[in-house]
């Protein structure tokens, strides 16, 4: 039995996209009223909810306080039903802890933390499978539960609700919108995308089947305007010589994502200004 | 447009999971036709006037074959007559899953521009994608997808009807149900047979049609001859509960009613199951993977020693023969015996052979006898029998119904007249599985564009060694020169010696079609007067050949050596060289059956006269190979590709020691001791003795093999007495060297690595293929030598020659004729004569025939003649003249003795 053909001779991928095409990206900001900022984002079948609290005073152990800037606190979790096989623990396992750490690093690079010394920003992201926008009510219930458990954290709350590949980048994109929704100043949008390398061709925005199909993948978070890289992560084996082409492809993909995010933000503002009568 | 695919899948642990996949349907997939003005395609594949002269379709048309047509009638599709074909993605995917070889052939056709095959990605097209309906099987869904795509095409092309002469799309299917449904949908649909028969201009195509299942009933009697094969599911349960055994079916060469099934057990242990009788063989063909059931112990039999050829006529009259095949056996000799209950995997390939033309003149059904005796005869249908008789042809098996004595097949192509040189060469290449087709377009597309020149980028990681005087040493007429040497004195008084090897890995990049083709071929095969290249000629004879006075890329291994010949420094570098002279040519090598001047593997033909320059080159090549082996092993201990030559078990040498005992003593404790005692073994008045001993010694050796260092612990090369060894010096003609080049290039930072290079399992699989190809190429070389020897004796008639006894067998002696390097067997028992009194003694070994006792190395005189009674299996026959044994030896026939220094005509 032959394995999956990730890229056909005609240049189509498993799901019918071409090598550089992104998945369908949809987002909505301000999905919760209780939180300071929130956003829901779908990138293909990967769905994430991000919630931001803060900036606020340090809670819990005061010793972590930084005197020149804000502390960013991230928590990543996956809904137990977000993958094909039910997960036992929604967060706190090694994968989630690692992902939380990556998110923290990304946003420390992007958020202008020096404006809020001695305070704290909390980001929560959750990934989930199989639900669409109209089910957001159910999600809210779950998030409230989270808030109760983690009272000591305060700014961004990101959750992946459904996972079909590219969890990290989807989290980053959702969290960016949530941070913007919270009105926290950032240097630029942080846009992230995963890319893979197959048959000497970089594939943008991998789906789950591709991520598991033996592709060496790379996740990159970019501040698109200045072209600075906020985070670059790769676990697979790839030759140095291919790295440059791969990063280039990732940056192009991130710029594509940033366009969509920008549109979402502008539309949200328009809606908000209509509501407030301005 | 976005579609979501949802399906349920069973996990490995047995749970059920739901899988949700996105599917993007596009509107930018073009039709690929020249006539279309709507699609915004850059280039078109399908022609406007797609004319194939068919009596069914008088208008221009495109063909759309369905999956089964592609799988079974690929021979037809490959014919140059068939062009302008649309291959749907559905079909391509199904073929990919069902048959890797057909998939590769299909891809090759698609790549060929003249064939005009267009791949239409219908599964991603918004108008042609369909969802599987509840209750619909995957196959039915795919059939429907094909029909929908054909429908789309015919409507799409209708828009341009005015400027075309009624261009249409024709679906080819062999499935009655599918055809009916297509007709209901108003599509043009034909069965493959119908269509091919309608091609009036090319009637010969009809013979290449594979027989479909409907036709089988027509040509066979209704009598059921074989038990039904069990379905795969029952076989699997049977194997799990160990009531059946799974193994490879190996037919016997000598007895068509007997076979063994080789069952691979856990780890090392494996068993063989004997199968006897047509019923028990149950339509299995040599090399099939089958399931066998053991018979009760009381029915076990011993392998029969009878030679039985299937001489049966086309009628199913096997009963009489079968009685003969069953020989009551001695209790002790009985072996586990079983019967085939099902076929797990067929391993059919096209077979070479000849046609036995049917006695009935008008008959179109004929039996075909394959050259390989292990393959049963095949019934084919052809109208060109009279032209094909006397020709070597290829036939593929289509199926073996249970009511047919012989499998059914179809004619693939003719190779030419039997006995002709080109034909026989083709046959031996095919029978030894040597890939020898012309390189496909896809492969050639990866060649560098001519005119080729060295670019500054090429120079970045290379040393410029052009100022050095580099020279190559090769036999005259050699066009694939892969090595060159230089030597110069350094300022400190030491010598610098460099070996420069063609940098083939610069041109063959990992993973592309060229690389895959070379990896599959594994080696260049040298036959008498013919060479089958591993890489296209542009590389082998031009860009990679280190010809004189042109700049060439090389991979160099450079040593600093002092005057005591001690190596002080070793380094490796990619370089550019300009070979100044290839003046040193070797003239008096024994060119006749000379195979390979640098193979360090034991070959069993003549020892060659070596010139001193040649052996100097060899020494340095050996040194380069060893140095490189050490380097790549140090760098990649898990995935270095090395070559080993296992020490033979001491018992292998018994025959050598016994044979030499009366004259000299042979030490076999180590390779060195053996070599020394062979050097010392000389007998006065018997100059050929030493050569004979060496030939015997070579027969005791094991095969040298490639292996991956991560998969083995014994690296020793016995023949060269080196602890580590590899092949580095002939990348033009051996693929192993290309891999070694890549490893070395990575080790010195001159090139990049890729995942497969570092994967020891993949390396190991590659080694297996290379070992197989090397073995087959050696067999092919020997077969080629044998064929040319036959040609020689055909022109000479009967000869009398002196020879020496090389081996003594139970009923024969094997005689070596030094003059021709020819080996032959003199049998003492034959069917038509009363056998003489023969006594064989293991100790010695000796064979007494009547009064005379034969020892190894005895001088004898024999007649040599060609036995061409069987045109497919011609052989050299020898008969004894001296010593004279009444009733056994033959009188010396009167023949002109040929002149001493006669050359072969080849």
Segment B707-750, tens digit of pLDDT: 998 888 888 888 788 889 999 988 988 999 999 999 999 998 88
| A222 — pLDDT class (breaks 50, 70, 90) | very high
Fold for the domain defined by A25-276: Ribosomal Protein S5; domain 2 (3.30.230)
Q: Which residues of B660-691 are buried (b: 16+ CB within 10 A; e: fewer)?
A: beeeeebebeebeebeebbeebeeeeeeebbe
CB contact under 8 A, A16 and B11: no
CB contact under 8 A, A239 and B21: no
The percent of residues in chain B predicted with pLDDT above 90, rounded, is 11
With CA atoms as reference, report the closest residue to A80 among A148, A135, A142, A1: A142
For CA atoms B191, B196, B200, B201, the dihedral sign is positive
Taking the alpha carbons at both ends of chain A, their separation in whole angstroms is 63
DSSP B435-450: --SPPPHHHHTTSPPS
pLDDT of residue A172: 92
d(CA B673, CA B827): 36
CB contact under 8 A, B119 and A5: no
Mean pLDDT of chain A: 80
pLDDT of residue A248: 93
d(CA B236, CA B231): 9
pLDDT of residue A1: 38
With CA atoms as reference, report the closest residue to B273 among B510, B264, B233: B264
d(CA B379, CA B368): 6
Angle between helices B671-680 and B689-700 (to 10 degrees): 160
- Distance from the Cα of A242 to chain B's closest Cα (Å) equals 9
* Among B10, B24, B86, B129, the residue to mutate for chain A (most A Cβ within 10 A): B24
Average pLDDT estimate for B822-843 = 71
* Among A5, A11, A14, A16, the residue to mutate for chain B (most B Cβ within 10 A): A16
Identify all chain B residues contacting A130, using CB atoms and an 8 Å cutoff.
Answer: 20
pLDDT of residue B726: 92
Check whether B220 has a pLDDT greater than 70. Answer: no
Chain B: residue nearest A15 by CA?
A: B23
Average pLDDT estimate for B660-685 = 75
When CB atoms are compared, the residue of B22, B103, B511 closest to A207 is B22
Check whether B32 has a pLDDT greater than 70. Answer: yes
Identify all chain A residues contacting B15, using CB atoms and an 8 Å cutoff.
Answer: 85
Spans of all domains in chain A: 25-276
* Among A15, A203, A239, the residue to mutate for chain B (most B Cβ within 10 A): A15
CB contact under 8 A, B21 and A209: yes
Residues A80/A130, Cβ–Cβ less than 8 Å: no
pLDDT of residue A111: 92
| A65 — pLDDT class (breaks 50, 70, 90) | confident
**Which of A246-255, B607-616, B693-702 has the largest mean confidence?**
A246-255
Helices (runs of H) and strands (runs of E) counted in chain B: 24, 35
Decide if A52 touches B, using CB distance below 8 A.
Answer: no
pLDDT of residue A91: 67
- DSSP-derived 3-state class of residue B644: strand
Q: Residues A147-204: pLDDT tens digits? A: 333 333 333 334 444 566 778 899 999 999 999 999 999 999 999 999 998 878 899 9
Min mean pLDDT across A44-58, B429-443, B470-484 is at: B470-484
With CA atoms as reference, report the closest residue to A96 among B170, B384, A88, A231: A88
d(CA B799, CA B783): 22
Residue B705 tokens, joined: 């093999």
Q: How many CA atoms lie within 13 A of B470 on its CB side?
A: 32
CA angle (B641 as vertex; B638, B644 as ends), nearest 5? 110
Decide if A88 touches B, using CB distance below 8 A.
Answer: no
| B786 — pLDDT class (breaks 50, 70, 90) | confident
d(CA B64, CA B179): 13
DSSP B503-522: -HHHHS-TTSHHHHHHHHH-
CB contact under 8 A, A15 and B97: no
Residues B21/A15, Cβ–Cβ less than 8 Å: yes
The residue among A140 and B538 whose pLDDT is bigger is: B538
d(CA A158, CA A52): 8
Q: How many CA atoms lie within 13 A of A269 on its CB side?
A: 10
CB contact under 8 A, B123 and A17: no
Average pLDDT estimate for B313-337 = 50
Residue ranges of E strands in B766-837? 799-808, 812-817, 822-827
Decide if A10 touches B, using CB distance below 8 A.
Answer: yes
- Distance from the Cα of A2 to chain B's closest Cα (Å) equals 6
| B193 — pLDDT class (breaks 50, 70, 90) | confident
Interface of A with B in 93-122 (CB under 8 A): none
pLDDT of residue A178: 94
d(CA B9, CA B16): 6
CB contact under 8 A, A15 and B511: no
| B557 — pLDDT class (breaks 50, 70, 90) | very high
Decide if A80 touches B, using CB distance below 8 A.
Answer: no
Distances, alpha carbon B505 to alpha carbons B452, B500, B518, in Å: 16, 14, 11
CB within 8 Å of A95: residues ≥ 6 apart: none
CB within 8 Å of B272: residues ≥ 6 apart: B260, B261, B262, B263, B335, B336
Chain B: residue nearest A43 by CA?
A: B22
Mean pLDDT of chain B: 79
d(CA B30, CA B41): 6
CB contact under 8 A, B17 and A84: yes
**Which of A98-112, B442-456, B645-659 has the largest mean confidence?**
A98-112
Residues of B with CB under 8 A from a CB of A: 2, 4, 11, 15, 17-26, 89, 93, 96-97, 100, 103, 107, 110, 119, 121, 123-124, 511, 752-755, 758
pLDDT of residue A3: 67
pTM of the predicted model, to two decimals? 0.65
d(CA B801, CA B330): 43
Check whether B604 has a pLDDT greater than 60. Answer: no
**Which of A75-89, A115-129, A250-264 has the largest mean confidence?**
A250-264
Identify all chain B residues contacting A85, using CB atoms and an 8 Å cutoff.
Answer: 11, 15, 17
Q: Which residues of B602-629 are buried (b: 16+ CB within 10 A; e: fewer)?
A: bbebbebeebeebeebbebbbbbbbbbb
pLDDT of residue A39: 92
Min mean pLDDT across A165-174, B55-64, B462-471, B582-591 is at: B582-591
Check whether B590 has a pLDDT greater than 60. Answer: no
d(CA B411, CA B397): 9
pLDDT of residue B595: 35
Identify all chain A residues contacting B515, using CB atoms and an 8 Å cutoff.
Answer: none
Min mean pLDDT across A7-21, B233-247, B462-476, B603-617 is at: B603-617
């Amino acid at each position: 039995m032959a394995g999956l053909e990730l890229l056909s001779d005609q240049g189509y991928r498993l799901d019918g996209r071409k090598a550089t095409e992104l998945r369908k990206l949809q987002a909505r900001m301000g999905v919760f009223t209780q939180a300071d900022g929130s956003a829901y984002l779908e990138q293909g079948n990967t769905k994430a909810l991000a919630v931001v609290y803060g900036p606020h005073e340090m809670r819990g152990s005061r010793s972590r306080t930084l005197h020149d800037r804000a502390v960013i606190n991230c928590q990543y979790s996956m809904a137990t039903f977000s993958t094909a096989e039910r997960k036992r623990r929604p967060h706190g396992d090694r994968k989630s802890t690692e992902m939380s750490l990556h998110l923290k690093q990304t946003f420390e690079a992007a958020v202008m933390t020096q404006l809020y010394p001695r305070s704290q920003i909390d980001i929560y992201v959750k990934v989930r499978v199989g639900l669409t926008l109209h089910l957001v009510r159910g999600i809210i219930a779950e998030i409230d539960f989270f808030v109760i458990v983690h009272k000591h954290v305060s700014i961004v709350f990101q959750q992946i609700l459904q996972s079909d590949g590219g969890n990290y980048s989807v989290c980053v994109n959702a969290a960016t919108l949530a941070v913007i929704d919270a009105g926290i100043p950032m240097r630029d949008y942080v846009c992230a995308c995963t890319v893979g390398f197959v048959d000497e061709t970089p594939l943008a925005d991998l789906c789950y089947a591709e991520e598991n199909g033996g592709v060496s993948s790379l996740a990159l978070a970019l501040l698109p305007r200045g072209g600075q890289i906020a985070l670059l992560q790769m676990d697979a084996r790839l030759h140095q010589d291919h790295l440059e082409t791969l990063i280039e492809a990732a940056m192009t993909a991130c710029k594509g994502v940033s366009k969509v995010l920008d549109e979402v933000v502008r539309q949200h503002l328009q809606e908000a200004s209509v509501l407030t009568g301005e | 447009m976005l579609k979501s695919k949802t399906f349920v899948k069973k996990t490995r642990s047995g749970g059920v999971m739901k899988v949700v996949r996105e599917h993007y349907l596009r509107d930018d997939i073009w039709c690929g036709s020249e006539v279309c003005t709507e699609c915004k395609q850059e280039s078109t594949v399908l022609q406007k006037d797609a004319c194939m002269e068919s009596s069914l379709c008088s208008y221009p048309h495109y063909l759309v074959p369905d999956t089964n047509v592609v799988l079974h009638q690929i021979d037809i599709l490959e014919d140059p007559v068939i062009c302008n074909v649309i291959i749907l993605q559905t079909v391509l995917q199904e073929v990919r899953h069902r048959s890797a070889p057909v998939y590769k052939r299909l891809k090759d056709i698609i790549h060929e521009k003249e064939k005009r095959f267009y791949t239409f990605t219908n599964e991603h097209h918004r108008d042609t994608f369909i969802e599987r309906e509840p209750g619909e099987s995957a196959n039915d869904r795919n059939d429907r997808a094909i029909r929908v795509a054909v429908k789309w095409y015919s409507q799409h092309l209708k828009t341009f009807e005015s400027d075309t002469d009624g261009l249409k799309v024709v679906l080819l299917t062999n499935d009655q149900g599918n055809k009916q449904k297509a007709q209901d949908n108003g599509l043009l649909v034909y069965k493959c047979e119908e269509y091919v028969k309608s091609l009036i201009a090319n009637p010969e195509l009809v013979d290449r049609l594979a027989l479909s299942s409907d036709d089988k009933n027509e040509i066979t009697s209704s009598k059921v001859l074989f038990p039904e094969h069990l379905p795969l599911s029952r076989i699997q349960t049977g194997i799990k509960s160990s009531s059946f055994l799974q193994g490879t079916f190996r037919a016997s060469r000598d007895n068509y009613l007997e076979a063994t099934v080789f069952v691979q057990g856990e780890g090392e242990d494996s068993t063989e199951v004997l199968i006897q009788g047509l019923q028990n063989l149950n339509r299995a063909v040599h090399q099939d993977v089958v399931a066998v059931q053991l018979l009760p112990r009381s029915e076990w039999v011993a392998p029969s020693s009878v030679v039985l050829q299937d001489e049966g006529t086309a009628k199913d009259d096997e009963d009489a023969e079968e009685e003969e095949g069953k020989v009551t056996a001695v209790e002790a000799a009985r072996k586990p015996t079983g019967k085939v209950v099902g076929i797990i995997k067929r391993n059919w390939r096209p077979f070479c052979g000849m046609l036995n033309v049917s006695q009935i003149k008008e008959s179109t059904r004929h039996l075909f006898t394959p050259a390989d005796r292990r393959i049963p005869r095949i019934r084919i249908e052809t109208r060109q029998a009279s032209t094909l008789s006397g020709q070597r042809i290829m036939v593929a098996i289509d199926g073996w119904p249970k009511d047919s004595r012989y499998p059914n097949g179809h004619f693939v192509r003719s190779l030419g007249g039997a006995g002709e040189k080109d034909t026989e060469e083709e046959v031996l290449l095919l029978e030894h599985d040597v890939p020898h087709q012309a390189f496909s377009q896809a492969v050639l597309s990866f060649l560098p564009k001519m005119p080729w020149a060295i670019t500054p980028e090429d120079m970045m990681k290379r040393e410029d060694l052009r100022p050095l005087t580099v020279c190559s040493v090769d036999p005259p007429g050699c066009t694939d020169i892969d090595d060159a040497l230089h030597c110069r004195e350094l300022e400190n008084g030491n010598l610098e010696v460099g070996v420069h090897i063609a940098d083939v890995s610069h041109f063959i990049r990992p993973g592309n079609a060229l690389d895959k083709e070379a990896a599959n071929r594994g080696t260049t095969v040298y036959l008498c007067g013919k060479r089958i290249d591993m890489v296209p000629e542009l590389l082998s004879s031009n860009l990679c050949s280190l010809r004189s006075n042109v700049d060439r890329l090389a991979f160099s291994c450079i040593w600093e050596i002092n005057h005591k010949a001690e190596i002080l420094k070793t380094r490796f570098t990619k370089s550019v060289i300009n070979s100044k002279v290839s003046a040193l040519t070797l003239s008096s090598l024994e060119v006749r059956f000379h195979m390979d001047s640098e193979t360090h593997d034991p070959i069993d033909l003549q020892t060659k006269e070596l010139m001193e320059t040649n052996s100097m080159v060899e020494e340095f090549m050996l040194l380069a190979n060893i140095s490189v082996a050490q380097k790549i092993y140090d760098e990649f201990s898990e995935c270095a590709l090395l070559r080993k030559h296992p020490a033979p078990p001491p018992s292998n040498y018994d025959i050598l020691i016994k044979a030499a005992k009366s004259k000299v003593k042979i030490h076999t404790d180590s390779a060195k001791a053996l070599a020394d005692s062979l050097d010392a073994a000389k007998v006065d008045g018997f100059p050929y003795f030493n050569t004979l001993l060496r030939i015997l010694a070579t027969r005791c050796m094991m095969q040298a093999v490639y292996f991956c260092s991560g998969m083995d612990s014994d690296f020793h090369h016995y023949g060269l007495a080196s602890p580590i060894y590899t092949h580095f010096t002939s990348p033009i003609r051996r693929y192993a060297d290309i891999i070694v080049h890549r490893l070395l290039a990575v080790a010195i930072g001159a090139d990049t690595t890729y995942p497969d290079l570092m994967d020891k399992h993949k390396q190991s699989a590659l080694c297996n293929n290379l070992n197989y190809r090397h073995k087959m190429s050696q067999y092919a070389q020997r077969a080629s030598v044998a064929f040319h020897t036959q040609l020689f004796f055909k022109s000479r008639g009967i000869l009398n020659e002196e020879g020496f006894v090389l081996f003594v067998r139970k009923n024969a002696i094997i005689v070596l004729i030094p003059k021709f390097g020819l080996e032959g067997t003199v049998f003492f028992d034959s069917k038509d004569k009363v056998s003489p009194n023969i006594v064989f003694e293991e100790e010695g070994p000796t064979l007494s025939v009547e009064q005379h006792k034969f020892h190894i190395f005895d001088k004898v005189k024999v007649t040599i003649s060609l036995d061409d009674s069987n045109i497919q299996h011609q052989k050299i026959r020898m008969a004894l003249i001296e010593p004279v044994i009444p009733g056994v030896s033959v009188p010396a026939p009167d023949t002109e003795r040929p002149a001493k220094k006669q050359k072969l005509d080849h």
